[in-house]
Amino acid sequence: MGYDVRKYRPSDSIETLVAHILKQQDINLVIDVGANTGQFGQLLRAEGYTGRIISVEPLADAHRQLQDVAANDSDWQVAARMALGAEDGELPINRSRNTVSSSILDMLPAHEESAPDSVYEAQETVPVRRLDSVLDEWSVGPNEYFLLKLDVQGYEDRVLDGATGVESRVAAVQCECSTVPLYDGQVLHSELMHRLEAKDFGLYAVWGGYADRSSGRMLQFDVLYVRDQDNKEEQGNR
pLDDT in tens, 41-64: 999 999 999 999 999 999 999 999
Cα distance between residue 36 and residue 15, in whole Å: 16
Convert the pLDDT of each residue in 64-97 to its tens digit: 999 999 999 999 999 999 999 999 999 999 999 9
Q: In the sheet where 29-33 sits, what is the strand order?
A: 76-78, 52-56, 29-33, 146-150, 170-178, 218-227, 201-211
Find the mean pLDDT for residues 187-209.
94
- Calpha distance 98→88 (Å, rounded): 27
- Asked if pLDDT for residue 238 goes beyond 50, the answer is no
CATH number of this structure's domain 26-236, picked from the four choices 3.40.50.1970, 3.40.50.720, 3.40.50.150, 3.40.50.11750 = 3.40.50.150
Task: Say if residues 59 and 124 touch (Cβ distance below 8 Å).
Answer: yes
Q: Given the DSSP bridges, would you call strands 29-33 and 52-56 parallel, antiparallel or unpaired?
A: parallel
Least confident window among 19-23, 121-125, 205-209: 205-209
Q: Is the pLDDT of residue 105 over 50?
A: yes
Q: List the one residue out of 27, 41, 237, 225 whose CA is nearest residue 145.
A: 27
pLDDT of res. 11: 57
pLDDT at position 96, please? 96
Question: Does 206 score more than 50 pLDDT?
Answer: yes
Residue 15 has pLDDT above 90, yes or no: no
- The pLDDT tens digits of the residues spanning 116-142 come to 889 999 999 999 999 999 999 999 999
Q: Sign of dihedral through CA atoms 13, 19, 25, 31?
A: positive
pLDDT of residue 5: 81
Q: Please say if the pLDDT value at position 213 is more than 90.
A: no
